[in-house]
Chain A
């Protein structure tokens, strides 16, 4: 894990994880994202939802990009800016099946496919990009501060 602070006109804090696609690392990421959200001033409920969304995004990489293999490379960059928290996940596994994203009917007893709904519900912006270098997921949560 790397932590860096960029100071200047817009101070930001960046935390980067470079890890193998092992589910046992998810708890470490959750703890850090929770702390980051709390430090950024998110209230408890919002913070928990954010932790869940990031966890779901990583779990999707482990399950669908790497098919449960534990030797895949995942890079997660968490960035706290003045107005938002942004998460970028890079992997070199199979590209996401965009047709399957949010394809499940929400509220039904269908098994699976809940993770992408959680991510869409919790985050303000979500994007998936695929290039020859790998897959890139970017999601951001904007701060709703009182004026």
Chain B
């Protein structure tokens, strides 16, 4: 898994690529929690994400809850059909704000 961060308008966009599983989700968690403190809005680009397991989903839920408690935004975009299937299988698609494109995710209020 690789992670990089860039600024797009008012949002910090986090590009993740590869697989998020039990071995790599702690790295994703560290990175996202490191960013939450200094960003008003985090947008996670999942276009190049091949695989995510429940530890990755749990990490995203943790970050979402942290953002909600500090009145910050955490949005997702670019989910592949394979990643969408995991969100639906775990029924967590209802608790996240999910967009098709980066433009929509960054512009969302």
Contact = CB atoms under 8 A, between A and B. Distances in A.
Interface of A: 22-24, 26-27, 30, 45, 48-49, 52, 55-56, 59, 62-63, 106-112, 114-115, 117-118, 121-122
B23 A23 contact: yes
B91 interface: yes
Contacts, number: 64
Interface in B69-92: 82, 85-86, 89-92
| Chain A, interface SS category | helix
25 contacts: A22-B23, A23-B24, A24-B23, A27-B21, A48-B82, A48-B85, A52-B53, A52-B86, A52-B89, A55-B53, A56-B54, A59-B21, A59-B54, A107-B91, A107-B92, A111-B61, A111-B62, A114-B54, A114-B57, A114-B58, A114-B90, A115-B53, A118-B54, A118-B90, A121-B89
A67 B51 CA distance: 23
A106 B88 CA distance: 11
Nearest to A55: B53
Given A26-B22, A55-B53, 5 more contacts: A106-B90, A106-B91, A109-B61, A114-B90, A118-B54
Interface residues of B, number: 24
B94 A107 contact: yes
B23 A26 contact: yes
Interface of B: 19, 21-24, 51, 53-55, 57-58, 61-62, 64-65, 82, 85-86, 89-92, 94-95
Contacts of A55: 21, 53
* Pairs of residues from A and B, 3 with the lowest C-beta to C-beta distance, nearest first: A23-B23, A107-B91, A114-B54
Given A30-B51, A114-B90, A49 B23 contact: no
Contacts of A110: 61
